[in-house]
Amino acid sequence: MRKSYAGMDLSDKQADPLYKRRHSLAHVLAQAIQNLVEGAHLGFGPPVENGFYYDFQLPRPVTVEELPAIEKEMRRILAQDQEFELLEKDLETALADFQRQGEHLKAEYARELVSGGETLTFYRNGPFEDMCAGPHVDSTRFIPSDCFCLDSVAGAYWRGDEKREMLTRIYGLCFPTKKDLEEFKREREEAKKFDHRKLGKELELFMIADEVGAGLPLWLPNGTVLRDELEALAREKEHDGGYVRVATPHVTDGKLFETSGHLEHYKEAMFPAMPVEERDFYLKPMNCPFHHLIFGVRPRSYRELPLRLAEYGQVYRFEPSGALAGLLRVRGMCMNDAHIYCTPEQLEDEFRAVLELHRDYYEMFRITKYWMRLSVHDPANTEKYVDNPEAWKSSEQIIQHILDNLGIEYQVGFGEAAFYGPKVDFQIRNVVGREETASTNQLDFAVPERFKLTYIGPDGAQHTPYCIHRAPLGTHERFLAFLMEHFKGAFPTWMAPLQVRVIPVQMEKFGEYAARVVAELKKRRFRVELDEGSDSFNKKIRTAATEKIPNVLVVGEREQESTEVTWRRYAVKEQRTVPLRELLATLERMRSLRLMDNFPDVELTSE
C-alpha cells in the first residue's frame, strides 16, 4: 500500500498546471538553498495561494538581501532541464536515508505518516530528492524563468508549534506569466495602503500595547463607535429574526468545559487554567456551554422551539504569537454569537435562514468576493472528532442538501469540521491576499446530549435538540478589519466615528451660523464637530478628506443668508448647496436605512 506525503487526495490538482509549477519551484528553491548554504536542512515546502514557500533549518540567517542570489541559482537549476522522477521507499529505507542526510525533521514526519508495509513517495529532480506526494511538472524546462520571484523571509515554528524549532521560511510568488506576476505585485502594493493595521493607526481606531499583551487590542473612541454600530445592526437583525439576548461571564469553572468536551478537544487553543480555591477556572474560548446551561434552566416543550439565544460575547483564545496579525488574529475577541435549539423537523429551515442572514449582511456591505467552505470530518481521526459515525453522516448530508438546494457554490474542507459537527464557513481574502474565515455556521449533534438537554415532543417523550452555532458577523475584531480594508477607511455615515464636520469659510464671520448647524445635528444625535482651528479653509477641507469624514458641510455668506449648507460627500467629487432642513432629513434617512453612502452610486433622495 502506498502512502502519500500528506495523505491528500490530489486528483483535483493533478490537472492544474499552475499548482504543479508552484510545487516544483518549492523543490527548486530547496535545491538552491542547499547549494548555497552548507548545512541547510529541510522542513516543508508546499505550493500555496499565489506561489510557494519552503521551511529550512539553517546554520545562519538568510536575509531578504540574499533573495536575488537565490533566485539566480534557481534559474540556473531551471535551465538544466531536470526531470521530476517519482520514487517509492519503505519506511526503513527512508529513515536510513534521512539519518545519513541529517534530515531529522523529515524523519519525524515519515514515522507519523506510515507504519507496517506502507511506502512513502519521493520526487527526485537532478541531485535533489524530497519526500512528497506531488504532483510536479515533467521537467524544470517547463517553468518559465520570468514567471516567479522570491518574495520574503519569515520565521516559522516546525509544525506550527512554538515549543519546537524555529525555522526560516522563504516565500516565493509564481503566476502563469511575467505580466500576471507584475500585475499581482502592483495590485498588492496598492492594497497595502489600506491594510487595516495602517488605517487603524491613521484613523485612531485601535491599538495593541505591549503593556497589555500581544493579540489583546484596545479599542480607541473612534473604533468603539464602529463596534457599537455593528452590534446595534446585529441587535436589530436578531430581534427581527426572533432571537432573544443573553449575557454570560468571561471566566468559568473548568468542569463546564469538561462537560462540553472543550478540554478534551480544544484545550491547546485555551488560556491556561487559573487555580481558584482548589478548582481550575478558565477564560472562556466560546459562549456555547453557557448557552446550553441557559437552555437547560427548566424543562422545555417543542412549542418553545426553535429557541434562538444571542450574545455579543467576549472570548479568549490562545493563538501562537507567530500567528497574530492585527485584528485578524487576536487572543481576545467579541463574537457575534448565537445558538439555535431546534427539532429535527426545524433544522433545515433554521440552517437555511442562518445562511441567508449571512448573505444579507454581505450584500448590505457590498462584499462580493467571498466563498463558502463546507467543513466535514475525517472518519479516521477518532481523537479529533466525536465518535458517532451515523450522526456525522446524516448531519453532513443535511448541510450538503441545504447548500445544493440554495444553489450555493462551495468548497469541501476535508478534516476541518468542529469536533461536534460539520460547519459552513464564509471565506474572505484580506488586502494582502491572506485567506481568513469571516463568519461561520456549525451544526452540533453531540454537545446538547452531553449537557442532557431535552424537550418534550408532541408524543410526550423527551428528545435531544439539535444546536446550530452561528456567527454571521464573526467577531468585532476580524469583521471590522475586513470592513476597514473593504471601505479603505471610508465608512458610511451610519457607522462613521465622525459623521459630519462643519467648516465655516471664515470663523469670525460665519462661526455663529456654523455652530447653529452643529447644534441642529447634535439635537438629532449625529456625531458632529465644528472645525474651529486656525488652519486655512483649504487645509481644513484637505484634512477632512484625509480623515475620510463622510460629510463635510461648508457654510459662508450665501449659506448663512439662505439657511443652507454646501454639502461635500467623501464618495463623490460634486458638491451641492441644499437647504439645511433638507440636509438634515437626508442624513436622518441615510442613518435610519443604513445606506452605503460611501459608494458614489447610492441614491440618497427620498422616493
Sign of the Cα torsion 445, 449, 453, 455 reads positive
Topology of domain 198-486, CATH = BirA Bifunctional Protein; domain 2 (3.30.930)
Peptide bond into 379 cis (omega under 30): no
Single out the residue of 141, 455, 430 nearest to residue 299, CA to CA: 455
- Quote the pLDDT of residue 431: 63
The proportion of the chain whose per-residue pLDDT surpasses 90, expressed as a percent, equals: 69
pLDDT score recorded for residue 207: 96
Q: What is the dihedral of CA 331, 161, 474, 314, to 10 degrees?
A: -30
Question: DSSP label at 272?
Answer: P
Q: Nearest to residue 56, comparing CAs of 146, 130, 179, 156?
A: 156
In residues, how long is the chain? 607
Q: How far apart are CA 315 and CA 271, in angstroms?
A: 11
CA-atom Rg of the chain in angstroms? 29
Q: Are 41 and 56 in contact (CB under 8 A)?
A: yes
C-alpha span between 510 and 504 (Å, rounded) = 6
Give the integer Cα–Cα distance in Å for 7 and 329. 28
For the whole model, what pTM was predicted? 0.80
Give the rounded distance of the alpha carbon of 494 from its chain centre: 24
H helices then E strands: how many in the chain? 19, 30
The pLDDT tens digits of the residues spanning 578-604 come to 999 999 999 999 999 999 999 988 877
Which residue spans of the chain are classified as CATH 3.30.930.10? Answer: 198-486
Where b means 16+ CB within 10 Å and e means fewer, 118-128 reads: ebbbbbbbbeb
Integer Cα distance of 517 and 553 in angstroms? 9
**Pairwise CA distance, residues 338 & 296, whole Å:** 16
Low-confidence ranges of the chain (pLDDT < 50): 1-11, 606-607
Which part of the chain is CATH 3.40.50.800? 500-592
* Virtual torsion, Cα 446, 448, 450, 453, nearest 10 deg: -150
Contact yes or no for 341/352 (Cβ under 8 A)? no
SS3 462: strand
| 522: phi then psi, degrees, rounded to nearest 5 | -65, -35
Domain 500-592 indexed as CATH 3.50.50.60: no
In whole angstroms, give the CA distance from residue 148 to residue 70: 12
Architecture of the domain made up of 2-184: 2-Layer Sandwich (3.30)
Q: What is the spatial distance between Cα 245 and Cα 118, in angstroms, rounded to a whole number?
A: 54
Task: Output DSSP code: residue 205.
Answer: -
**In 3D, which of 372, 369, 419 has the Cα closest to residue 395?**
419
